[in-house]
Copies of this chain bind each other. A is one copy, B any other.
């Protein structure tokens, strides 16, 4: 119950409300607010807990970060983010221009990404997911290979993998 996991598709009603999946609300703990902003990588909406934003801010203060990246993130993420209230039934109302940006109309797909999650139009997600799976397959990613490979990275070694699968 600590990480945002799995994908849930929920309906958007005519008032613009959409339920945040129960398991995601569980990850948020008792928090009745969350942060959303337009994703930098895709036509999707990124979302996270309020306190996650604080940690992101600290990371940004790291002097090793290039200045232009800091500028970019400050503008797009912090400037473009919105704080949303979760109603007693666990629903949120996405701002109009966010819906348009992600192409969301009557359905919204919530995709867990560990510390954050994304909100997609279901159709756009299918397309994106298919492409991602292909790329992952090309990299030979599986539950068992990720750990093995990461450990070798940590050890400084770069065994190219090519495992038996």
Please give the residue numbers on chain A whose beta carbons come within 8 Å of chain B beta carbons, in ascending order. Answer: 2-7, 23, 35, 37, 39-41, 46, 48, 52-57, 59-60, 62, 64-65, 69, 71-83, 111-116, 118, 128-129, 132-133, 135-137, 139, 141-144, 146-147, 150-151, 153-154, 165
Give the CA-CA distance A136 to B112 in the complex, in Å: 23
By a CB distance below 8 angstroms, the chain B residues around A81 are 5-6
- Cβ contact of A23, chosen from B73, B75, B83, B141, cutoff 8 A: B83
Inter-chain contact B142/A5, CB cutoff 8 Å: no
Residue in chain B with minimal CB distance to A48: B143
By a CB distance below 8 angstroms, the chain B residues around A37 are 143
CB of A47 to closest CB in B, whole Å: 8
Inter-chain contact A129/B82, CB cutoff 8 Å: no
By a CB distance below 8 angstroms, the chain B residues around A65 are 150, 153
Query: A150 and B62 in contact (CB under 8 A), knowing A69-B139, A72-B141, A137-B40?
Result: yes
Inter-chain contact B141/A115, CB cutoff 8 Å: no
By a CB distance below 8 angstroms, the chain B residues around A111 are 75, 79
By a CB distance below 8 angstroms, the chain B residues around A118 are 79
A–B complex contacts, Cβ < 8 Å, 11 sampled: A4-B78, A6-B82, A39-B142, A41-B165, A64-B154, A75-B113, A77-B141, A78-B112, A78-B113, A78-B114, A116-B143
